Chains A and B, each alone.
Chain A
Amino acid sequence: GAVVSQHPSWVICKSGTSVKIECRSLDFQATTMFWYRQFPKQSLMLMATSNEGSKATYEQGVEKDKFLINHASLTLSTLTVTSAHPEDSSFYICSARMATTNYGYTFGSGTRLTVV
């Protein structure tokens, strides 16, 4: 089946530093990847949509200069949280859309980010 590998699984960083999260589609080409954020006991909130080779589309209220998304190839998308602050601590999940099925949305395993 379709697999999306996301890493790191968890990361602790100091305030002011940057953190990069990677998502790779292992056995299919992901033309579109979606990045979500999930706070404790809340649902997944869409942050941005990235299409291979083009700029990401950010949801209202998400700072594009703070959350840098790169989708340089059909199998890799990255999210960089720049100048992280404690309020950025959250669970970040990517999701890749498979073009071959109408319901093929595969999620990565998530990254727990803690900013101290």
Chain B
Amino acid sequence: GQNIDQPTEMTATEGAIVQINCTYQTSGFNGLFWYQQHAGEAPTFLSYNVLDGLEEKGRFSSFLSRSKGYSYLLLKELQMKDSASYLCAVRIQAGTALIFGKGTTLSVSS
């Protein structure tokens, strides 16, 4: 089966930096995605990695190491509105559905 692991919960304070890790063991690999989801809402796209290395997008960066089956999402200058669930998802094959991890609930306090 497919296995995608993330920590269940993390806490941080406003202005800080937080790193959310994701490890995966899947039958194939065609890209790794990070989504943000607020309670009761649909996920919104944050980042996409298919090659090794770091992708930076404003306050958010995502890193991928395919040989280690590992990714992380880095959030800088945390704001209260960043409190949400962060979902790591892997695409096994081009054009197929994303397979999601269980998500990491991030709580940002002042």
Which A residues fall within an 8 A CB radius of B?
6, 32, 34, 36, 41-46, 49, 91, 93, 95, 97, 102-103, 105-110, 112
Q: Are B41 and A109 in contact (CB under 8 A)?
A: yes
**Residues 97-110 of chain B: 1 if any A CB is under 8 Å from the residue's CB, otherwise 0?**
11111110100000
With contact pairs A49-B96, A105-B33 given, residues A43 and B102 touching in the complex (Cβ less than 8 Å): yes
B58 proximal to A (CB < 8 A):
no
Whether the Cβ atoms of B45 and A44 lie closer than 8 Å is no
**Residues in chain B within 8 A of chain A (CB atoms):** 31, 33, 40-45, 48, 50, 87, 94-103, 105
On chain A, the residues within 8 Å of B94 by CB distance are 102
Main secondary structure of the interface of A (DSSP, over half): strand
CA distance A107 to B36 in the complex (A): 12
Main secondary structure of the interface of B (DSSP, over half): loop
Q: Given the known inter-chain contacts A91-B40, A107-B43, please indicate yes or no for A43 contacting B96, CB distance below 8 A.
A: no
- Cβ-defined contact, B40 with A32, below 8 A: no
Least CB distance, A59 to chain B, in whole angstroms? 9
Beta-carbon nearest neighbor of B94 in chain A: A102
Interchain nearest-CB distance for A40 vs B (Å): 10
Instruction: Check A110–B97 contact: CB distance below 8 A.
Output: no
Answer whether A102 and B45 are a contact pair too, CB < 8 Å, given A43-B100, A44-B87, A112-B40.
no
Given contacts A49-B97, A103-B31, A103-B33, A42 and B42 within 8 Å (CB-CB): no
Inter-subunit contact B42/A109 (CB<8 Å): yes
Q: Measured between alpha carbons, how far is A42 from B103 in the docked complex, in Å?
A: 8
- With most chain A CB atoms within 10 A of its CB, the pick from B40, B41, B42, B50 is B42
A92 to B99, CA, bound (A): 15
